[in-house]
Amino acid sequence: MVAQVTGSTVCTVGHAARGNVDRMPDDQMVHDELPERVLVITAHPDDVDFGAAGSVATWTDAGVEVSYCIVTDGDAGGSDREMPRRVMAEIRREEQATAAKLVGVTDLYWLGYADGRVEPTLELRRDLSRVIRMVRPQRVVTQSPDRNYQRIYASHPDHLAAGEAALCAVYPDARNPFAHTELLDVEGLEPWSVAEVWLMAMPAPDRFVDITDVADRKMDALRSHVSQHPDPAALDGLIQGWGAMIAELAGFPEGRVAEGFLRVDTA
């Protein structure tokens, strides 16, 4: 079952590119046309805002339709031991919906897996394949399935599992009519081939998006996760430092901030 949130409506769901350029260093410059639709798959609420909210704002401003798919409700988050986990899950859904709107996203899919216990199972692959077939994105943005020893916090086990399942859903599951046959035979969802996957938090990214002009919206999206950040002011220096480091890696002028991804060709 997939819970979809579109705008303020919640329901249970059963069944050209534009000539822009995602900037890269001069020696790797590739003219990537903006897709019509992007699907971002993450393990928890706020993962997308740390890794890609600036890029999302840039894309939606350019007319790209961006959807989010969040594998868990983030019920294991926060530090209040007295708060029922069901209540935390509700809070985190609301926070993510608020953050998404700030960067132009109102189409959210929630899979409801247990926070802290995500595994790249066939069931998760099926559920992600369902969302891919529904959204029909040309680009999927997701978390890396590989542990990053330089930035261990990016390698939460749920992140690794969500990234692995997302890649399996992109190839081969979502495009194969004989994989998870109930998606086609029962739900009527035709196979869909995703052209590319962009992986977040990779040590050697090869795609960069200059987010300087939308950096304030990224920060506002992060601050929307009030339950997770008792000291939101501390985020500013952290995120600014990351953005400046990635911009330097991309070869952007001093003073710019960026987000970086590793592109995987899945056409």
pLDDT-based confidence at 4, cuts 50/70/90?
A: low
Q: What value does the mean pLDDT of the chain take?
A: 89
Contact (Cβ atoms closer than 8 angstroms) between residue 174 and residue 244: no
| Domain at 110, CATH number | 3.40.50.10320
Tens of pLDDT, residue by residue over 22-49, are: 544 443 434 478 999 999 999 999 999 9
Contact (Cβ atoms closer than 8 angstroms) between residue 74 and residue 99: no
Domain count, the chain: 1
What is the rounded distance in angstroms from the CA atom of residue 177 to the CA atom of residue 188?
A: 11
**What's the predicted TM-score (pTM) here?**
0.88
Contact (Cβ atoms closer than 8 angstroms) between residue 172 and residue 128: no
When mean pLDDT is compared across 145-159, 160-174, 186-200, the lowest value belongs to 145-159
Among residues 47, 18, 64, 27, which one has the least CA distance to residue 225?
47
- List 140's β-bridge partners, or say none: 39, 197
* Domain encompassing residue 235: 2-265
